[in-house]
Chains A and B, each alone.
Chain A
């Protein structure tokens, strides 16, 4: 790795990561497929959750835990399934005790159908969790006022959706996402949810987003390991493209080959001594 790449790290609450991909661990067909996808994606963090033990799942729970430890990746617990700020705060406190980390992916869901974040519950929970010393990564919409309230609450990282969880639709509201990037230049922005293809990840990374969080796009691909690798390559490439400073879009064609000196063309007559 050369110098500039070494310097270009993802920063989450003072912790640096060389990868800009965060990977979810759900919906893989087998633990070995998950382990291989992690190796291929080389993610900064793995998102996980916490649940009561289901009878008969004692061994699978322990093998999942062993897999996480062997991956040696940073853990990002979530509050998935919470529909109120109170529930989310309690779940986050349990997650901190279980995973021994202050990082929390804050989810407060407001609608069962499209799993859209509840902006009011999200801000209420974020305020409380920041007070409790958590590093909050809220899963939010691209709404600027909501994002501003979360920033005011002390969130230094925001995770706006591209589209509803698990849909793979890609960025539904590109203009608002780009405006958010412009208006919050000091905040780490990670697009979370709704990404289906590496080209979707490229889009948001080329707009200057700092990272992408994926799950279903990898786990439900026909070949999850290959897709994990495709996303990792795409995110690295599009981050480099953003840093390289893309050209500005023009309204009319601009020839790239010089016009002057083209053969077989006739210019206006000139005095022979000027040739």
Chain B
């Protein structure tokens, strides 16, 4: 399946849920995730079904003023 992760289109194995995708990508902790611009609360990743063509944004804390 093709999923856009952080602005890049990625060819990924068939992953049904966001939880499975995050296990596959293993991003640095902590992070927050949006699917198609909608924030997905942690604790609901297993219920969040992903489909080919979805846009996934994963963000982390960084320094800021």
Name A's B-contacting residues (CB within 8 A).
24-28, 34, 47-53, 58-59, 61-62, 64-65, 68, 77-78, 80, 90, 93-99, 165-166, 215-216
Judging by beta carbons under 8 Å apart, are A52 and B32 in contact?
Answer: no
The segment out of B11-19, B37-45, B46-54 that lies at the interface is: B37-45
Tell me whether A49 and B57 are in contact in the complex, defined as CB-CB below 8 angstroms, given that A62-B29, A65-B30, A94-B34 are known contacts. Answer: no
Does B64 contact A64, Cβ atoms closer than 8 Å?
Answer: no
Q: Is B3 an interface residue (CB 8 A)?
A: no
State whether A64 touches B63 (Cβ < 8 A).
yes
A47–B62 alpha-carbon span in the complex (Å): 10
A selection of 12 A-B contacts at a CB cut-off of 8 Å is A47-B64, A48-B61, A51-B59, A51-B62, A52-B6, A53-B27, A61-B62, A62-B28, A68-B61, A80-B65, A99-B61, A165-B65
From A24, A93, A98, B64 is in contact (CB under 8 Å) with A24
Q: Which of A93, A96, A98, A215 contacts B65 (CB 8 A)?
A: A215
Contact of B27 with A98 in the complex, beta carbons under 8 Å: no
The answer to the question of B20 belonging to the interface, with a C-beta cut-off of 8 Å to chain A, is no
A49 near B63 with CB under 8 A, answer: yes
Most buried by B among A24, A97, A99: A97
In angstroms, Cα B50 to Cα A234, docked, is 53
Least CB separation from B25: chain A residue: A53
Is A24 in contact with B65, judged by CB distance below 8 angstroms?
A: yes
CB of B60 within 8 Å of the partner chain? yes
Contact at A64–B62, with CB atoms within 8 Å?
A: yes
Q: How far is the CB of B48 from chain A (nearest CB, A)?
A: 13
* Residue ID in chain B nearest A62 by CB atoms: B28
Chain B residues proximal to chain A, CB less than 8 Å: 6-7, 27-34, 37, 39, 41-42, 57-65
Known pairs A34-B63, A90-B34; list 18 more (Cβ under 8 Å).
A24-B64, A24-B65, A47-B65, A48-B63, A50-B62, A50-B64, A52-B6, A52-B59, A61-B28, A78-B64, A90-B39, A94-B32, A96-B39, A97-B32, A98-B30, A98-B60, A165-B65, A215-B65
Q: Which of B6, B29, B39, B62 contacts A94 (CB 8 A)?
A: B39
Which residues on the B side are within 8 Å of A99 (C-beta)? 61
Residues of B contacting A24 in the complex (Cβ-Cβ under 8 angstroms): 63-65
Residues from chain B with Cβ under 8 Å of A62 in the complex:
28-29
Using Cβ atoms and an 8 Å threshold, which residues of chain A touch B37?
90
* Neighbouring B residues of A49 by C-beta, 8 Å: 61-64
Q: Within the complex, what minimum Cβ distance (angstroms) separates A244 from chain B? A: 31
> For B32, what are the chain A residues with a Cβ–Cβ distance below 8 Å?
50, 94-95, 97-98
Who on chain A is nearest to B62 by CB?
Answer: A51
- B45 shortest CB reach to chain A, Å: 12
Q: How far is the CB of A206 from chain B (nearest CB, A)?
A: 24
Residue pair B65, A51 in contact (C-beta under 8 Å): no
Closest B residue to A87 by CB, please name it. Answer: B37
Closest A-chain residue to B39, C-beta based?
Answer: A93
Query: Does B63 lie within 8 Å of A27, measured CB to CB?
Result: yes
**How far apart sit A68 and B30, CA to CA, in the bound complex (Å)?**
12
Report the minimal beta-carbon distance from B59 to chain A, rounded to whole angstroms: 4
The answer to whether A26 and B63 touch across the interface, beta carbons within 8 angstroms, is yes
Contact B64 A48 (CB under 8 A): yes
